[in-house]
């Protein structure tokens, strides 16, 4: 089969060599973007008088036909035509005859592929941003019904101080808020047109880059043709934002997995997001959360793979850059899929407030409160810490918790203790009193929920 670029060749490569070099197996995902880019390019060629209006109309009609065929799944791509760009050009020529060969005037596959990738990522970044919003909404919904549900807050995975469960969930809301803004910010650099940069140096044809950019909805054009065809940092940025998002999801997955273990029993996953064991009838495994945690690795992989591919490349285009696609496609599917599952998991999980309540009461996470109590009555905090440490030891020796100690025990430990100590030690009081900005005090949590609602546009 002769190649579209076969003029200077005297023999063709063997099929297996073609197959190794071909990208059509994966870049066919860019079919719509490639047609969209071509339509803008040919419209520009017509407007600039580089093609006649008749030629322009013929090519546009041909591209529209291809678009319909692509939608209907009727295009049969071939490895011999290497990639999506050459496949479509071949289809166009088959469709409308030799005039189809004029589409590529003043353009190279190098600016063409870069244009496709910008269009693709613009679209998918917006989809991902919407999916992030859905997860935030799910977190906000759960948080809203659990402002006064308490769980132990941990440091070193040891119970530290009780917190509102809503506060804990909302920590992830704010992480995702930053993820959202990272994606949003990256759009500034995605929404720039490389089209018209040619192979690397621009073109002799009197093209209008600003016009084709405008037709494609880009905010502007790359200033430098070499940069335009060589830049993949917009993809690096996407993979980086995706990696951070996956890292955040993965951390919450880890907590969901812990919380649904027999050891914690703080939540139960909905049956829809759990699976059983083929051998152990009692098992209910949080598979989806584990899988998202696991899939985080492949997104990081995409980021490192692309950074490594790019680091030694001289300007301008090099075939190595064809390796930019699979990691990006994979990350798009992984992040979108993970976010979608995530929203469902959060929405449907059963929160076992009674177990949380018990956990909060049956521990020493109110000990700081006692020390603060003495400190607020004038005892240096260091001394207060010592006194309370001893009191904790007394309780441990008696096999009870602080709230179970007798008033005399407190009095013996320090004369500054008064009867109100029991009220102060109540976990609800402990949490409520942490009313500093961004703290877990119920008032602060309610303020945070309001802010979050405003961000999501809930009224
Ligand atoms: N399939 C190629 C890619 O993905 C398109 C660009 C090819 N350009 C070239 N000069 N061979 O990178």
Long-range contacts of 50-58 (CB under 8 A, 24+ apart): 50/105, 50/106, 50/205, 50/206, 50/207, 51/102, 51/105, 55/99, 55/102, 58/96, 58/99
Q: Ligand 1 center to residue 244 CA distance, Å? A: 29
- Taking the chain, what is the end-to-end CA distance rounded to the nearest angstrom? 62
ipTM over 0.95? The verdict is yes
**Quick check: is 242 catalytic?**
no
Tokens at 228, concatenated: 């335009």
- Tens of pLDDT, residue by residue over 344-393, are 999 999 999 999 999 999 888 889 889 999 999 999 999 999 999 999 99
Cβ of 109 closer than 6 Å to ligand 1, yes or no, is yes
**Quick check: is 277 catalytic?**
yes
- Tens of pLDDT, residue by residue over 231-246, are 999 999 999 999 999 9
Cβ partners under 8 Å of residue 210, min gap 6? 220, 221
Cβ of 83 closer than 6 Å to ligand 1, yes or no, is yes
- Tens of pLDDT, residue by residue over 95-146, are 999 999 999 999 999 999 999 999 999 999 999 999 999 999 999 999 999 9
Cβ of 84 closer than 6 Å to ligand 1, yes or no, is no
Asked if 228 and 197 touch (Cβ cutoff 8 Å), the reply is yes
> What is the arithmetic mean of pLDDT over 278-298?
89
Domains of the chain: 6-105 (1.10.275.10), 110-154+163-358 (1.20.200.10), 360-456 (1.10.40.30)
Q: What angle do CA 380, 385, 390 make, to 5 degrees?
A: 130
Which of 79, 322, 324, 329 to probe ligand 1 with, by most ligand atoms within 8 A of CB?
322
| CA-nearest residue, atom 1 of ligand 1 | 83
State the pLDDT confidence band at 459, using cuts at 50, 70 and 90.
Answer: very low
State the pLDDT confidence band at 458, using cuts at 50, 70 and 90.
Answer: low
State the pLDDT confidence band at 279, using cuts at 50, 70 and 90.
Answer: confident
Mean pLDDT of the chain: 95
Question: For the CA atoms of 356, 360, 363, 364, what is the dihedral angle to 10 degrees?
Answer: 150
Helices 367-376 & 381-398 angle (0-180, nearest 10)? 140
Q: What pLDDT does residue 1 have?
A: 62
DSSP state of 354: H
Q: Ligand 1 center to residue 322 CA distance, Å? A: 6
Helices 84-96 & 109-144 angle (0-180, nearest 10)? 120
Q: Ligand 1 center to residue 9 CA distance, Å? A: 18
Q: Which of 156, 278, 436, 459 is catalytic?
A: 156
Q: Quick one: which atom of ligand 1 is closest to the CA of 83?
A: 1
Cα(459)–Cα(453) distance, integer angstroms: 7
The number of beta carbons lying within 10 Å of the beta carbon of residue 458 is 13
- Tens of pLDDT, residue by residue over 420-435, are 999 999 999 999 999 9
Asked if 267 and 256 touch (Cβ cutoff 8 Å), the reply is yes
Q: What pLDDT does residue 77 have?
A: 98
Question: For the CA atoms of 118, 38, 197, 219, what is the dihedral angle to 10 degrees?
Answer: -50
Q: Which of 52, 181, 277, 376 is catalytic?
A: 277
Give strand pairing partners of 164.
150
Q: Quick one: which atom of ligand 1 is closest to the CA of 82?
A: 1
Cβ partners under 8 Å of residue 186, min gap 6? 125, 234, 237, 238, 241
Q: What pLDDT does residue 5 have?
A: 78
Q: What pLDDT does residue 209 have?
A: 98
Residue spans of alpha helices (H) in 314-406: 325-348, 353-361, 367-376, 381-398
Q: Which of 143-157, 294-308, 355-369 has the lowest mean pLDDT?
A: 355-369
Residues listed for the chain = 459
Which of 77, 84, 113 to probe ligand 1 with, by most ligand atoms within 8 A of CB?
113
């Amino acid at each position: 089969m002769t190649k579209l670029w076969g003029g200077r060749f005297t023999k063709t490569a063997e099929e297996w060599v073609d197959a190794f070099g071909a990208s059509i197996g994966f870049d066919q995902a860019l079919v719509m973007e490639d047609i969209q880019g071509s339509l803008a390019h040919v419209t520009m060629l017509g407007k600039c008088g580089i093609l006649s209006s008749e030629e322009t109309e013929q090519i546009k009609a041909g591209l529209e036909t291809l678009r319909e065929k692509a939608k209907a799944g009727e295009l049969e791509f071939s490895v011999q035509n290497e990639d999506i760009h050459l496949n479509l050009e071949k289809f166009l020529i088959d469709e409308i005859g030799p005039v189809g060969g004029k589409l590529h005037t003043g353009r190279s596959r190098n600016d063409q592929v870069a244009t496709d990738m910008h269009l693709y990522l613009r679209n998918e970044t917006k989809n991902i941003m919407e999916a992030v919003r859905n997860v935030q909404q799910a977190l906000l919904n759960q948080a809203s019904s659990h402002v006064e549900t308490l769980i132990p807050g941990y440091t070193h995975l040891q119970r530290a101080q009780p917190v509102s469960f809503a506060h804990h969930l909302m920590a992830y809301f704010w992480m995702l808020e930053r993820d959202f803004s990272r994606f949003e910010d990256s759009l500034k650099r995605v929404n720039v047109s490389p089209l018209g940069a040619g192979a690397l140096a621009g073109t002799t044809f009197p093209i209008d880059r600003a016009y084709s950019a405008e037709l494609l909805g880009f905010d502007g054009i790359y200033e430098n043709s070499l940069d335009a065809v060589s830049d993949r940092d917009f993809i690096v940025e996407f993979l980086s934002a995706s990696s951070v998002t996956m890292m955040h999801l993965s951390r919450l997955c880890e907590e969901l997995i812990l919380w649904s273990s027999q050891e914690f029993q703080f939540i139960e996953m909905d049956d829809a997001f759990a699976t059983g064991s083929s051998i152990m009838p009692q098992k209910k495994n949080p598979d989806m959360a584990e899988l998202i945690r696991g899939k985080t690795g492949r997104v990081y992989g995409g980021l490192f793979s692309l950074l490594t591919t790019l680091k030694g490349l001289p300007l301008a285009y090099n075939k190595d850059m064809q390796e930019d696609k699979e990691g990006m496609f994979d990350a798009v599917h992984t992040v979108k899929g993970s976010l979608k599952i995530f929203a469902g998991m959060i929405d449907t999980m059963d929160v076992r407030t009674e177990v949380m309540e018990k956990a909060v009461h049956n521990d020493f996470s109110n000990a700081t409160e006692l020390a603060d109590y003495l400190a607020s009555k004038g005892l240096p905090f260091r001394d207060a810490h010592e006194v309370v440490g001893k009191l904790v030891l007394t309780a441990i020796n008696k096999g009870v918790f602080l709230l179970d100690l007798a008033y005399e025990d407190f009095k013996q430990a320090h004369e500054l203790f008064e009867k109100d100590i029991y009220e102060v030690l109540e976990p609800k009081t402990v949490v409520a009193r942490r009313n500093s900005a961004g703290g877990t005090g119920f008032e602060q949590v309610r303020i945070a929920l309001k802010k979050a609602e405003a961000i999501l546009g809930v009224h």
